[in-house]
Copies of this chain bind each other. A is one copy, B any other.
């Protein structure tokens, strides 16, 4: 264990922070080098190019998200419980790595087409995971017969927005926020038999 951080990991963390705060194009390699107390040119021992660095951050972001959410989707839990857990887990992940997530969510346009395609593929894969739960719930009659596509976007907007306002010093923990979200959405979706 231990908190050994390699120079390279440090670079990724610093870059994610700067890209997230100032934006990719507004962040210079100089800015990154300054934070690491090395020279501009020395960065290229660790990365191939600025855009390659961006890609790596975005890939890390989406992969982390997926690793945490996929087991939920593939479990045997009922759809409502799956959805609640997915919402909580997504919220927690965003709150845990807000810099990586902000970069992943905002800088797609800064990638050149080939790399952009690859990230887009991840993104679609993730979207499908979410929709699958919703579709399953509707099919089984657990959820109201909603427009799965629109609701999935509603849900993703809600949780992705978290990085914009979440603070670890705030009154609610990420898990608590996730629970509020889950309650809200489930209340809105459950097909109650209020005869």
Contacts and interface: CB of A to CB of B under 8 A. Distances in A.
20 contacts: A22-B109, A23-B25, A23-B109, A25-B25, A25-B26, A147-B180, A153-B165, A154-B158, A155-B158, A157-B158, A157-B159, A157-B161, A157-B164, A158-B158, A184-B185, A185-B188, A186-B188, A187-B189, A188-B188, A194-B194
B109 A26 contact: yes
Nearest to A177: B150
10 closest residue pairs by CB, A with B: A157-B161, A25-B25, A188-B188, A187-B188, A184-B188, A157-B158, A154-B158, A158-B158, A157-B157, A150-B180
A158 B144 CA distance: 19
A23 B147 CA distance: 31
Nearest to A187: B188
B21 A109 contact: yes
How many copies of this chain does one complex carry? 4
Interface residues of A, number: 39
Q: Is the interface of A mostly helix, strand, loop or mixed?
A: helix
Given A150-B181, A188-B188, 14 more contacts: A21-B109, A22-B109, A23-B23, A23-B109, A23-B110, A151-B180, A154-B161, A154-B180, A154-B181, A157-B164, A161-B161, A184-B188, A184-B189, A192-B194
Contacts of A154: 158, 161, 180-181, 184
